[in-house]
Amino acid sequence: MTPWLLIWTGILLIAIVFAIPILQSLLARTALAKYRLPEVITRASSSLRAVLAVAGIRIIMMGTAYDGRTWSRYIDHALVIALIGTIIWFLCDVVIAVEELALWQFKNATDVDDVRIRRANTQVTLLRRLIVATLVFVGVAIALMTFPAVHVIGQSILASAGLISIVAGLAAQSTLTNVFAGIQLALSNALRVGDVVVVAGESGVIHDITLTYVVVDLWDERKLIFPSSHFTTEPFENWTRSGDPIGGAVLIDVDWTAPFAAMREELARMLAKTPLWDGRTGSLSVADAQGGRVQVRISLSAGDTLALFSLMSHVREQMVVYLATQGVQAMPRTRIERTPPSSLPTA
C-alpha cells in the first residue's frame, strides 16, 4: 500500500471511532432494540473504539516517512503492545456481552423453569470466565513475545516443553485439580448458583462457582469458601437438585396427655390461612414416646426453601402459642413421685 493510502486508512479508522456513538443511537431506535443488540454494542463500544484508535494511529505512522530513529521504534513497539491489549479487551467485552445476551434470552423464555435457568447461569458464567482467562493469558504471551529477548527465551522453553510441563504439572497439581473440579461441577449439573446446600455441617445458598472455589452464603450473612474439589470428593446435601418444591418437619415435645386430634385440627386451620404452604404435605404424627415425653412430628411442604423456612417457623410459633393458651395440659412436664417417710428402709 502507498503511504497516502495507509494514512487515509488510518484517518478512516479514527473517524469510525467518533461515528460509533451515532450508530448506537440509531440501533436503539430500530427493531433490534428488543433483542438487546444495542446493549451488546454498548458493552463493547469502548474497547472497539480503543482498537480502532490505536490501529488508526499505527497505520498512519506506517504511512509516514519517519527515519527509523530509536524513539520512533519505541513508539511503534508501544503501539503494537497497545493494539494487542485493546484487541484482547474487545474480545473479552464481546464474550461478556454474549453471556449477558444469552442469559437474558434464557430467563425471558416462557417454557424455562427456574432450575434450568440456574443451571444455564452456572454453566455460561463458568464458560465465560474460562474463555476470558484464556484470552488474557494468550494476550500477555503474545505481548511478551514482541520483545526479542523474551522471544529467544520462548523458543528455548518450547524446545524443553516436555520437561517443563511435567514440572509445572507437579507444582500446580492442587490448583489444576480444583480447576477441573470446577468445570466438572458446572457441566455435571451437580451444583448450581442459587442451590440450597448443607455442607460441612452448615446450611446455605450457593453464591458463586468459579474455576477454583465455591462460595456459600450462610443465613447469618457469613460466607464459606470451599475449594471446588471439596464438592467432587466429599458428600453434601443439595436441597434444590431436582426442583424448588421441598419438604421439612417441625419437632415439638408434649406431654402424654396432649390432645392430638385437636392439634391436628389446629394445624389444618393455620395451614389454610398461610400462603406459604403449597398444599402438598401437612400432617401431624407421633414420632417418639419415651423419657416421660411424647415427640410430635409436623410434616410440611412449600414451594421453595425460603418459604419452607418461614412456614416451619410460623407453624412452630403458632403451635406453641396454641398449646400455651388452649392446651396447657399438653405442655411437657417432669413428674416426681414422693415416697412417704414410713416406707423408707431403716438401717
Note whether 237 and 197 are within 8 A (CB): yes
pLDDT (0 to 100) of residue 220: 76
- Burial environment of residue 297 by CB neighbours within 10 A (0 to 12, 13 to 18, 19 or more): middle
Q: In the numeric block, which cell numbers belong to residue 247? A: 419438604
> Percent of the chain, pLDDT > 70?
67
Of the given ranges (48-52, 132-136, 280-284), which has the lowest mean pLDDT? 48-52
pLDDT (0 to 100) of residue 163: 47
Strands 202-209 and 196-199: what pairing? Answer: antiparallel
Each residue's pLDDT tens digit, 165-219? 554 454 455 666 777 777 777 777 778 887 888 888 888 888 888 778 888 888 7
What gap in Å lies between CA 132 and CA 66, rounded to an integer?
Answer: 37
Note whether 200 and 137 are within 8 A (CB): no
Question: Is pLDDT of 103 > 60?
Answer: yes
Note whether 323 and 331 are within 8 A (CB): yes
Average pLDDT over the chain reads: 75
Note whether 49 and 20 are within 8 A (CB): yes
End-to-end, the C-alpha distance of the chain in Å comes to 123
pLDDT, mean of residues 324-345: 72
Which amino acid, residue 231? F
